[in-house]
Amino acid sequence: MSSMLIKGARVVAPAEDIDRVMDVYIRDGYIAELDSSRQTADTVLEGAGLVLAPGFVDIHVHLRDPGFTHKEDIFTGCEAAARGGFTGVVCMPNTNPPVDSAETIAYIREKAASAKAKVYPVCTITKGMQGQQLSDFAALKAAGAVAASDDGRPVANAAVMQAGMEACFRLGLPVVSHCEDLDIIAGGIIHKGEVSEQLGVRGMDRTSEDTITAREVALAESTGTQIHICHVSTEASVALIRDAKRRGVRVTCESAPHYMLLTHKELLRRDANWRMNPPLREERDCQAIIEGFCDGTIDALITDHAPHAPEEKADFEKAPNGIIGLETSFAGACTALVASGKMGIGRLIELMSVNPCRILSLPGGHIRVGDAADLALFDPAEKWTFTQQDIASKSRNTPFLGWEFTGRVHATIKDGAVTFQL
């Protein structure tokens, strides 16, 4: 038997309506006592002045494994996750091969068994992510897929997407949509606007995201199915989803810290570490994302952690899109939303833990006796500067080096074991 005692932390568990200072006793990987009177354990963590929350769960991560392990692998991605307070990550299927077989899901799950975060695989909507033939959803769900998506690419054909949504809905398998019209994008590499014009590069029109968001909402509404919208970045998409929710459409959505903290003006430096898809947009879009998080339109905070090797990011115009984000997600969101006074820490925990688990029906999001001890211990008021030494990812493609954040993870506990500690 092993035991752990976390002493004197402010325990914040929104799902249990808990927000008070207490000791938490863990035994054999499970929460055994809340408000414990025990004084000793095999491991004692001092929590005075810190918040103890359900471990964060990121439902949109690219671990690049199998096939692209020069960028990231399951072990290094989960190491980065642990540093950011994450006890679970959901990995997207645009690997090599794509996650369209039970064998690939088995590979991911077996490798992840000894990693520092729990890994939940997403399968493809279409075989090979080619947008034509639907995957065998029943077999893939039985193998362990928690959702279906062609993320990295849109499903261009609306009829194929509708058929996929209906098939997945019958199985209780959530569908996650990458909303992008490639014909509108037409080779664009950054947001279409004054910065793309000034740099003389092709831009990515915001209507690319907005039209497919509207399509997915319409499909969900007309078929009575449900849809989860990936990485929302535009003012109009937030408004479309807000309106759909008011009408009772079964739609949820997510966004990331960089869509609150950065605008396309950062691209004037011609550095591909500021390039991602969807791209950084305008200040009005940043404000819309913040409002969406605050009013409940946006359900979950994700990273879209997308590692790329330095040589791949060296050429501004030819580089692949994407940035890493697991190490900075909590800090960035806490800075943008909590330190600014826009929301309380309980609401941020909902966005990073409670809601992600609810959306994909994953374990977690709670602090209850008998539940797995998956926890994050952090200081929401600590100011700190993010440096190279804080990166655990195999890649280094972040726009946040040198940033001063407010809010820092001090320890991460998965199944009662410390996976990260300052």
Residues identified as active-site: 304
Please check whether residue 230 is in contact with residue 176, taking contact to mean a CB–CB distance below 8 angstroms.
yes
Rounded-to-integer distance, Cα 159 and Cα 157, Å: 6
- Residues near 218 by Cβ (< 8 Å), separated by ≥ 6? none
Angle 234-237-240 (CA atoms, 0-180°, nearest 5)?
155
416 φ, ψ (degrees, to nearest 5): 80, 5
Edge to edge, the sheet with strand 147-148 lists 56-61, 86-91, 118-123, 147-148
Beta bridge partners of 2: none
**Token digits of residue 398:** 């972040």
Instruction: Return the DSSP state at 129.
Output: G
C-alpha dist (Å) from residue 64 to 85, 93, 398: 20, 9, 16
Beta-carbon count within 10 A of 211 CB = 19
To which residue do tokens 């493609």 refer?
A: 397
**Token digits of residue 205:** 């029109």
Rounded-to-integer distance, Cα 90 and Cα 305, Å: 11
Instruction: Return the DSSP state at 224.
Output: T
Rounded-to-integer distance, Cα 114 and Cα 25, Å: 24
Instruction: Return the DSSP state at 48.
Output: T
Angle 359-21-330 (CA atoms, 0-180°, nearest 5)?
40
Distance between the two ends of the chain, CA-based, in angstroms? 25
